[in-house]
Amino acid sequence: MPATPSFMKLKVDHKTVLCRDLNTYRALRDFLLNSGYSPVYETERVGEEKTAMATFACLSSLTGERLAVVLGMSAPNEVSHAQAPFAYGFAGKPQKDAQTYMQHLALRTNDVEKLKSHLESKGAAFLTPIYKDKDSFGPLLQSFTRELFDDEWFFIEFVQRDYDADTVGAGGTQFVQNTVKSLYVSKQEEFREWEKTGKKRKFLDGVPAKDRTKLLQEIFANTEPKGYVQTVAPIARNVSLG
């Protein structure tokens, strides 16, 4: 086995959960603030003219865990992509009882450019370029993959932070408006395409079928803390990491 390159040594940076409605959004926000999480980002509306999302992000200074909570806001004649799991279901069926959906997992690398090139050389497809932005912790680089599965809405974000992201505390609430908006617009365009055609261009479509599981394992098996990714429901339903 060749040694794992350092850009493939990944750490969980944050995860983002979608909410069905305002009650769920408020309840989660309330629960997290009552559980030792500090707010690091909050915005009432980012998106397009018709559809948008509200976002609340927070950090547990005790465990270092970062969570973002998102409420997709649809218009009468257009569904927000952030409402897709509730409007169209997931795991192969309608999900009328689901109140939340794990939309993406962000994994931290020390070199997002190398990581992206490496995965693209194997046929993997990203939805976005590498965005350069700043959040309340400091400067960051981010790139978002295409969705992983046909009957899920899950994707991965790769992020690079050029400082020790594990020791930094909550730096107050700030805005990373540009990237959040760019991502929203890209996701909404991808989603409209899916609604029109019923077809999705997926992260691993360009990877030979026999190598797909291996590539996912290469990403997830190297991720710290060990075992964390198996707790993220769309992955747990679709990828065996054993």
Which chain residues interact with Fe ion by CB under 5 A? 16, 106, 157
Q: How far is the CB of 9 from Fe ion (least distance, A)?
A: 20
CB of 157 to Fe ion, least distance (A): 5
Least gap, CB of 196 to Fe ion (angstroms): 26
- Give the burial class of 229: count Cβ atoms within 10 A of its Cβ; 0-12 exposed, 13-18 middle, 19 or more buried: buried
DSSP structure string for 93-156: B--TT--EEEEEEEEE-S-HHHHHHHHHHTT--BSS--EEEEETTEEEEEEEBPPS-TT---EE
Please, what is the minimum distance in Å from the beta carbon of residue 135 to Fe ion? Answer: 10
If the CB atoms of residues 16 and 83 are measured against Fe ion, the closer one turns out to be 16
**Smaller CB separation from Fe ion, 124 or 159:** 159
Residue 58 or 207 having the CB closest to Fe ion:
58
Closer residue to Fe ion in complex, CB, 24/142? 142
Residues 36-64 as b or e (16 or more Cβ within 10 Å = b): ebbbbbebeebbeeebbbbbbbbbeeeeb
